Chains A and B, each alone.
Chain A
Amino acid sequence: GAVVSQHPSRVICKSGTSVKIECRSLDFQATTMFWYRQFPKQSLMLMATSNEGSKATYEQGVEKDKFLINHASLTLSTLTVTSAHPEDSSFYICSASRGLIGNQPQHFGDGTRLSIL
């Protein structure tokens, strides 16, 4: 089946630093990738949609200058949390889709647990 790899799985860093999270589709080309955030005991919330070669589309309330998304190739999207603060601590999850080709579902990575001290 389709595999989406996310790295790192866990990161702990000091307040004010920037953190980059990578999302790779390992066995298919992903024209569209999605970034979600999940707080404890809550459901996933979509942050943004990224399409290869174009700017990401952010959901309402998500700061695009805070959460930088780059989708430079068909197999890699990155999310950079800039100047992270404790309130940014969360579980970040990406998903990838082949896009509007056939009838293909989104596949998710295993998530990155971000802890800001």
Chain B
Amino acid sequence: DAKTTQPTSMDCAEGRAANLPCNHSTISGNEYVYWYRQIHSQGPQYIIHGLKNNETNEMASLIITEDRKSSTLILPHATLRDTAVYYCIAMEYGNKLVFGAGTILRVKS
């Protein structure tokens, strides 16, 4: 599975959109981009995933570039409860999720 690169940490003002980037320049055609987050002392929470097209659900939007080498997770109106570690994982469906260091998102009032 392709390696992903994420910024170590980011800050976002409460109520504003949080845009979390992820680089996956070696991604293959069969690999999906998955996003999970982990709030302190809890198990990871699934957010969204996609292959080629942009995706949106009740939690977030996932924007994947046309060449699929990078993507951005968008939390449209960040709240304090969105403070967490966000993991971007490129994985061929059915394979194992391998977690990197992720991005620590701090939402501030």
A interface, CB within 8 angstroms of B:
4, 6, 34, 36, 43-46, 49, 91, 93, 95, 99-100, 103, 105-111, 113
CB distance from B103 to the nearest CB of A (A): 12
Q: Chain B at the A interface: mostly helix, strand, loop or mixed?
A: loop
CB distance from B3 to the nearest CB of A (A): 13
Kindly list chain B residues whose C-beta atoms are within 8 Å of the C-beta of A107.
46
Known: A105-B34, A106-B97, A111-B42. 11 other contacts (CB 8 A): A6-B43, A34-B96, A34-B97, A43-B87, A43-B102, A44-B38, A49-B96, A93-B44, A100-B94, A109-B43, A111-B43
Residue of B nearest to A103 (CB): B93
Given A43-B99, A43-B101, A108:B44 Cβ within 8 A: yes
CB distance from B8 to the nearest CB of A (A): 12
Kindly list chain B residues whose C-beta atoms are within 8 Å of the C-beta of A44.
38, 44, 99
